[in-house]
Structure 1
Amino acid sequence: MAPAISVAGRRVECLENQSILEALLRAGVWMPNSCNQGTCGTCKLQVLSGEIDHRDSPQETLSSQERTQGLALACQARPLRDTEVALRGADETRSTHVLHDLAGTVAKVEEIARDTRRILIDLDEALEFYAGQYIELTVPGTTERRQYSLANIADENTVLELHVRRVPGGLASDKWLFGTVAAGDRVEGLGPLGDFHVPPTEEDAGEPMVLIGGGTGLAPLVGIVRTALARHPSREVVLYHGVRGQSDLYDGGVFAELEATYAGFRFVPVLSDETSPEHRNGFPTDAFLEDIASCRGWSGWLCGPPPMVEAGVKAFKRRRMTPRLIHREKFTPADALARA
């Protein structure tokens, strides 16, 4: 008989080789989650009773002292017998979408920028998610899974849009999604995952928003921006896209159309390695600091490489943004983690 996980009065069976996080999310029990790779610590929980196997939990994220104190990473840990856990300082009643297996067909593969592709996946069954969440796809011929943010809004739940940047030598990006993949191929995975998403409609206060994306970190911000503007057409929204050069920019027409439709929306591309009279130069966090004097009452959204996200958090705090309104999604390629 499979061991069970108990949390906040709910009891959930955890199947063999299934993490505590996956078991809870599949049962519709929310818990904090972000990277699902053991690197961020978002899903850290307290083990109250029972026994767990920490599996591949990194020492950098979960120290020996923390393990002794009964802490665990839900995305890595497996219960060895019936176990009770508690979320650490989290709202245990937050709404969530149930985690599901998904399957579909590659509908389109499109080059959109330097070493960047748009992949469209036509799902066999619709997937419920919040704009900003991500899915995991299984790399064909392996048991490895890779994470890709959705560029969709919640209503676009039958054809998923992914923005993929090539990672040289990467098992998924280089060898598969820039290699063998073709329209008509079958894909499998699971989703939705992650807490980087717009709140449910009834919790959206319509506050001004500033969003900063690095490279394909733009993907989830597209769905977040479109959702936010549709709910509150008059809200102020500023989106910065940081890339190295002009050939890394994409979907300018989409943002031009949003600017034409919503008076409060502004799109600001920023180039770090090139000088262009048509674009801002430098880093998007610096452009933000130059543009906006105060962010009291604003929400902030950051998605991209860890250094950019960390710089963005500091920049938002300098402009007096409330810490609880700062949302972040650090992107570290799984192949880079494996090499580390």
Structure 2
Amino acid sequence: MTFAVSVGGRQVECAAGQTLLDACLRAGVWMPNSCNQGTCGTCKLTVRSGAVDHGDSPLDTLTADERAAGLALACQARPVGDVTVGATGAEGRATHPLRDFTATVLEVADIARDTRRVLLGLAEPLAFEAGQYVELTVPGTAARRQYSPANTADEDKVLELHVRRVDGGLATDGWLFAGIAAGDIVEVSGPLGDFHLPSEDEGGPMVLIGGGTGLAPLVGIARTALRRHPDREMLLYHGVRGAADLYDLDRFAELAEAHPNFRFVPVLSHEPEPGRRGGFPTDAFVEDVAGARGWSGWLCGPPPMVEAGVKAFKRRRMAPRHIHREKFTPADEG
């Protein structure tokens, strides 16, 4: 059984039990999306006609009053008949279609404390934007975990994932830091998320702040931005507990050599070391930049870091519309 979903002047088929977001993204119809777990509220939309089953939509993300007013979370809501919905900005906007595919593990390497790089080879190129993420299915389970490749859009045949171990995690301790090996086949879905450089990027100064492996999507975004405008001013902060958590320093040294206006700033929060910046990366930005009018800001990391970054950017007079964020949660369950 399928239902018709009308959105932004287009009509999409949605199977019974399929979410509105999944059906639209697979059809190449853009909808705002970020966590895709019902916790961020990014995909909230209006059901203009018809009805939906709200599924596991949390009440703190979608209140009872909002449901009564016709609002729904596209990542959780499933139509129970034909529906017409309104999603902000969906009209006339396209996206790379969401699809399921398999990948082959090419390499697994330890790159920092409790941190691994996993390279996945694809049989066919994946169309995506730098900064978007993919979902991996944990073998033997229905559980999925989200990882942001460090790739640029033209690096579409081998995905580079940075994975931090979660103590007791189903995906990390139980798989990615345990039995995974080169040659394994992995089930993947993607691309997902709206965290990427806009096409109308004009080359203004940028600051990017990543916490832990929240650095990964920023690597792709930074390299994409520098390819478009090689001389732009760019600050990239990497916040970690100690020097043992830093990685890819050679990569950033090469970027700095090729782009004189690029600067990489590692910041150690809990294990100070001579010659290294201490404290938190969001505070380091405030210390380094007196004013950020005309800048764009990019944040990816644990929710407290992202929230502190938004405050830091606003404190330096960055326009709210130029602040981009991705709450990179390694998931308590790993």
Cα displacement (A) at 1:336: 4.6
Q: Which residue in the other structure is 2:147 paired with?
A: 148
AA at the equivalent of 2:243: Q
Question: Among residues 243, 263, 284, which one is paired with 1:266 in the alignment?
Answer: 263
Q: Secondary structure at the match of 2:220?
A: helix
Q: Which residue in the other structure is 2:179 paired with?
A: 180
Asked whether 1:163 is paired with 2:159, we answer no
Q: Which residue in the other structure is 1:285 paired with?
A: 282
Q: Which residue in the other structure is 1:78 paired with?
A: 78
Contact 2:13 2:23 in 1 (8 A): yes
Contact 2:137 2:186 in 1 (8 A): yes
After TM superposition, the runs of 4+ consecutive aligned structure 1 residues lying more than 4 A away are none
Distance 1:221 1:333 in 2: 16
Q: Secondary structure at the match of 1:140?
A: coil
Q: Secondary structure at the match of 1:295?
A: coil
AA at the equivalent of 1:248: D
- Given the two structures, how large is their TM-score scaled by the length of structure 1? 0.96
Q: Which residue in the other structure is 1:253 paired with?
A: 250
Q: Secondary structure at the match of 1:31?
A: coil
Contact 1:171 1:335 in 2 (8 A): no
Q: Secondary structure at the match of 1:199?
A: coil
Cα displacement (A) at 1:274: 1.4
Q: Secondary structure at the match of 1:131?
A: coil
Q: Which residue in the other structure is 1:301 paired with?
A: 298
Contact 1:150 1:223 in 2 (8 A): yes
| 145-154 or 16-25: bigger deviation | 16-25
Asked whether 1:316 is paired with 2:318, we answer no
Cα displacement (A) at 1:91: 5.1
Distance 1:242 1:85 in 2: 40
Contact 1:34 1:193 in 2 (8 A): yes
- Given the two structures, how large is their TM-score scaled by the length of structure 2? 0.98
Q: Which residue in the other structure is 1:118 paired with?
A: 117
Contact 2:8 2:92 in 1 (8 A): no
Distance 2:90 2:134 in 1: 23
Is the alpha carbon distance of 1:240 and 1:316 closer, same or farther for their aligned partners in structure 2, counting shifts above 3 Å? same
Distance 2:128 2:298 in 1: 18
Q: Deviations for 1:23-55, whole angstroms, at most 9, x for unmatched residues?
A: 001111111000111110000000011111111
Q: Deviations for 1:170-210, whole angstroms, at most 9, x for unmatched residues?
A: 1112201111111100011211100001123xx12011100
Distance 1:303 1:41 in 2: 17
Contact 1:31 1:92 in 2 (8 A): no
Structure 2: gaps of 5 or more residues: none
Q: What's the % identity of the aligned pairs?
A: 70
RMSD: 1.1
Question: Among residues 206, 209, 212, which one is paired with 2:209 in the alignment?
Answer: 212
Q: Which residue in the other structure is 2:222 paired with?
A: 225
Q: Secondary structure at the match of 2:177?
A: helix
Q: Deviations for 1:43-101, whole angstroms, at most 9, x for unmatched residues?
A: 0000011111111111111111111111111011111111110014x353334211111
Distance 2:213 2:165 in 1: 10
